[in-house]
Structure 1
Amino acid sequence: MSNIAKIEFPALEITGENYMPWTAHVKRHLKSMGVLETIQEGNKCSEQDKAKADVFLHKHIDKMLQFEYSNCDDPHMLWKDLQSRFDHQKEVLLPTARDEWNNLRFQDFKKVNEYTSALFRICSTLKFCGQNVTEEDMLEKTFSTFHASNINLQQQYRLQKFKRYSDLNSFLLVAEKNNELLMKKS
């Protein structure tokens, strides 16, 4: 019974800084509960489904937001109010994400996983803000930011004609491990 009361993901902060991941989490959870349509305009959901969604939403917002919206028991209205309050995060996040994308360089990272984590975080933010980032963009960003001393390696990877970043990432991880093993033997 105590598992039911647990928060499945971090609550929406009063500042709205985590609005982007919060909305994605909420939508997934409401969908899995079968009540996603309760946050949509003009829904014809049962009162029980609305109550289920309302409890879930209130449980996953900051305590001060809970207090502020304590009289709001319509999940669609709560969702709409939170959206109008925090959806500006896209405009706040976009310039920073673009700057991070422009300055992201594979050569600046010691580990492939560190680079990949930064790449996916930036891409997720850009996508949230309505900017399309393709697999080709991620591949080109990676190839074009190899250290100049690795130009031959860059060319070898380009010749592989990867279609997905995950395929390139696998090759890079294997190369990193092989390099670590060689360094240990030296």
Structure 2
Amino acid sequence: MSNEPRLDFQMLDSTGSEYYSWVTDVENHLTSKGILPIIQAPDPGLVFQRTPTKHAQAIILMRRHMDKALRLEYMSMKDARELWVALEERFGNIQDTLLPDLKVQWNNIRFSDFKSVAEYNSEALRLKAMLKFCGKPLTEDELLEKTLSTIPVSAIVISKCGSIEHWFKQCHASTKLAASYKEYRQNREQESNLAENEDSEDVNLTIEDFKAEQMHEDAADFD
């Protein structure tokens, strides 16, 4: 039988990467038990008794959802508010710590590195959410550009609705549009090579270029 504690939500680890999600989960569970004020600053206008039992209930919940290293580090704390504040001081500015690594992860993510579309979608959307949390939201075009620039051309499937969120839900468009994008990339790469040979300005392939050309396509191109 496992000695790991039973979890109601994701555990907080020593990196603090999921701290804010963990905070929300703890607050919701304490609210459901009617003891949320036990971790909040005292409010003279609120009738709430801070009993040892309520402190214990809150601490047990928090400690059960902390990894072993954190549990050992804060094992001497008996006051729920004190533990809550200590974790906030430690992880409250975790965005500054996470952002550099998240940028590296986003730069390195490649569609071809995943075994399935679902796995790629899950990781891409996770990075999107985390970057937004850190104050660096990705645009829809950045998401689509990343996908199209790293996916094998033979596997390209593009949503005819034009929405990256819809695309990530595996909305499908015609193979003709996929072939169109393949041809577009090949043509632009040839243009780029010619431009380089003539010492001209580089031609960069972007999703905006593809969109511009697609605006002139007949609606019948879509299934």
| TM-score using structure 2 length | 0.55
Distance between the aligned counterparts of 1:133 and 1:39, measured in 2? Answer: 34
2:170 partner SS: helix
Q: Does the 8 A contact of 2:38 with 2:50 survive in 1?
A: no
TM-aligned CA deviation for residue 42 of structure 1: 4.2
Closer/same/farther in 2, CA of residues 64 and 109 from structure 1, 3 Å limit = closer
Which residue number corresponds to residue 147 of structure 2?
142
Distance between the aligned counterparts of 2:88 and 2:22, measured in 1? Answer: 14
Matched, 1:125 2:130: yes
Which residue number corresponds to residue 170 of structure 1?
169
1:20 partner SS: coil
TM-aligned CA deviation for residue 90 of structure 1: 2.8
Letter in structure 2 aligned against 1:39: I
Question: What RMSD, in angstroms, separates the aligned Cα atoms of the two structures?
Answer: 3.4
Closer/same/farther in 2, CA of residues 150 and 94 from structure 1, 3 Å limit = same
Which residue number corresponds to residue 30 of structure 1?
27
Letter in structure 1 aligned against 2:21: A
Which residue number corresponds to residue 162 of structure 2?
161
How many pairs does the alignment contain? 162
Matched, 1:115 2:120: yes
Aligned pairs for 1:64-79 within 5 A? 64-79=69-84
| TM-score using structure 1 length | 0.64
More helix by share: 1
Distance between the aligned counterparts of 1:113 and 1:72, measured in 2? Answer: 42
Distance between the aligned counterparts of 1:87 and 1:28, measured in 2? Answer: 16
Which residue number corresponds to residue 94 of structure 1?
99
Q: Does the 8 A contact of 1:7 with 1:60 survive in 2?
A: yes
Given candidates 103, 108, 111, the residue that maps to 2:108 is 103
The structure whose RCO (Cα within 8 Å, separation 6+) is larger is 1
Letter in structure 1 aligned against 2:120: Y
Partner deviation per Cα, 1:137-173 (whole Å, 9 max, x = no partner)? 434433444434567x54xx3x4222x51x2123358
Percent identity between the two aligned chains = 31
Moved more, 54-63 or 114-123: 54-63
Closer/same/farther in 2, CA of residues 64 and 110 from structure 1, 3 Å limit = closer
Q: Which has the larger radius of gyration?
A: 2
Distance between the aligned counterparts of 1:134 and 1:62, measured in 2? Answer: 34
